[in-house]
Chain A
Amino acid sequence: KAGVTQTPRYLIKTRGQQVTLSCSPISGHRSVSWYQQTPGQGLQFLFEYFSETQRNKGNFPGRFSGRQFSNSRSEMNVSTLELGDSALYLCASSLTGRPDNEQFFGPGTRLTVL
């Protein structure tokens, strides 16, 4: 079974631009969560989607948004990029989205904002 895939793997943008990241969960997994990882703040969750509905949101500004499609694939968008948005963005999927469900992480997208 294929794992979680994320595209692109690396991205360089400039301040003020916007970016869209994509995540394909493991086949059959209905829950997709997005995380931002930085050296200073660690791993912080951005939001979670389940069956195309956002049901969990972390403490990030409205510039960060996402969506999930009917095939469970998910995208996240960051508008008006700031230098502080440079980070590793990780996507994780789980089968049912219950608290005892293991999260399977993708390799991440490394975003650099110049």
Chain B
Amino acid sequence: GQSLEQPSEVTAVEGAIVQINCTYQTSGFYGLSWYQQHDGGAPTFLSYNALDGLEETGRFSSFLSRSDSYGYLLLQELQMKDSASYFCAVPHRGYSTLTFGKGTMLLVSP
């Protein structure tokens, strides 16, 4: 089977940097994705890592270590609008359908 573990909640202040960790167990690894979901909204894609290392996209970066079955999402220069749930996910059986972690609720305060 597949399982992903991530913290349930993280709090930070505007302008700060926050890291959301994710560890996974999967038979057959194809990559690690991150999605953002605002309350009441649809999940939206943030990043996908198939190879080890850091991928940077603006204020957001995502890291993967396949040997440690571990990844993280790094959010810099936090803004109030970053308050949302963040999910790590892995493709199921080599397709685009995803198995998600339970999600990390990020609360950014002024």
Contacts and interface: CB of A to CB of B under 8 A. Distances in A.
Give the size range of B's interface with the partner.
Answer: 20 to 34
Contacts of B97: 31, 33, 45, 48, 56, 97, 103
Interface string B98-110: 1111110000000
Interface in B50-106: 50, 87, 91-103
B96 A108 contact: no
A35 B99 CA distance: 10
Contact of B102 (A42, A94, A103, A107): A42
Contact of A45 (B35, B98, B101, B102): B98
B19 interface: no
Classify the interface of chain B: helix, strand, loop or mixed.
loop
Contacts of A33: 96-98
A104 B103 CA distance: 18
Interface residues of A, number: 28
A43 to B, nearest CB: 4
B42 A31 contact: no
A38 B45 CA distance: 20
Centre residue among A50, A55, A105 by max chain B CB count within 10 A: A105
Contact of B92 (A42, A56, A102): A56
Contacts of B43: 43, 90, 92, 103, 105
A104 B44 CA distance: 7
A108 B98 contact: no
Interface of B: 30-31, 35, 41-45, 48, 50, 87, 91-103
Interface of A: 31, 33, 35, 42-45, 48, 50, 55-56, 58, 90, 92, 94, 96-108
